Amino acid sequence: MMLRVHSYESFGAVDGPGIRLVVFLQGCPLRCLFCHNPDAWDPCGGTETPVEEIVRRARRMRPYFGEDGGVTFSGGEPLLQAAAVLEATRALQAEGIHVALDTSGALDTPEALELLDTVDLVLLDVKHPDAQRFREVTGVDQGATRHVFDHLRATQKPVWIRQVVAHGLNATAEEKEATRAFIAGLNVERIDRLPYHELGIHKYEALGLTYRGTELSPPTKEELAL
């Protein structure tokens, strides 16, 4: 099977445990206010890549993984390519390589749920706990995401929570409490609240797109804490 790959990061140190090969996949159904990779939205973009190429790259990097490292599939939204990522995951696991999936939980197809069950770790991107605000932030309904969260609660798959934090988005005491309630019951091993930045705005200009996050600003240290 083929994967549409946006780019790679070798020696990634923030997308899961240990040193990792991060495979950024092409295509995303969300249009988040704060997205810094609009060039990854188009599901027809990127480079068609056979699963075997991903496995080959991982084998080559294996000496650097150590006991904790491995491969992380990120995006874009990797659940858009769930069937091919599932094949890649099984091939990597057959080689004894740890696999993490960085996802917003935006799709709840049978293939997506099977992929979530198969990977070793889910890096779960929390966009916003409130359904109306979620739609405003992402441009899509929250239903599929809530179903994915419920599925992960039922399976108790290990999860790392990731959340971009901005003043004007999710930094008030009430919004923090809503976030804590939204992730309650998940098998959370770690929470990373990531400060909002504007480093990707130049990509919007290059692509002729309008950046929607002008209402946001970086959080204070107090706002960043959960």
Q: Measure the CA–CA gap between 195 and 217, rounded to whole angstroms.
A: 9
* Residue ranges in 10-142 assigned as alpha helix (H): 51-65, 82-94, 110-118, 131-138
Tell me the C-alpha distance between 118 and 113, whole Å. Answer: 9
Query: 97 phi and psi, to 5 degrees?
Result: -100, 130
CA distances from 131 to 127, 198, 210 (A): 10, 25, 24
pLDDT at 200 over 90: no
Q: How do residues 141-169 score in pLDDT, each as one tens digit?
A: 999 999 999 999 999 999 999 999 999 89
**Contact of 139 with 180, CB cutoff 8 Å:** no
User: Would you call 210 exposed, middle or buried from its count of C-beta atoms within 10 A (0-12, 13-18, 19+)?
Assistant: exposed
pTM over 0.75: yes
pLDDT at 199: 85
DSSP-derived secondary structure letter, 215 = G
- Assign 38 a pLDDT band (cuts: 50, 70, 90): very high
The string of pLDDT tens digits covering residues 53-105 is: 999 999 999 999 999 999 999 999 999 999 999 999 999 999 999 999 999 99
* Predicted confidence (pLDDT) per residue in 17-26, tens digit: 999 999 999 9
Angstrom distance (rounded) from CA 116 to CA 162: 16
Asked if 22 and 106 count as a contact pair (C-beta separation under 8 A), the reply is no
Beta bridge partners of 102: 123
Q: Which two tokens stand for residue 13?
A: 């140190």
- Report, in angstroms and rounded to the nearest whole number, the Rg of the chain calculated over CA atoms: 17
Spatial CA neighbour of 183 closest among 226, 140, 225? 226
d(CA 164, CA 128): 9
DSSP 8-state code for residue 40: G
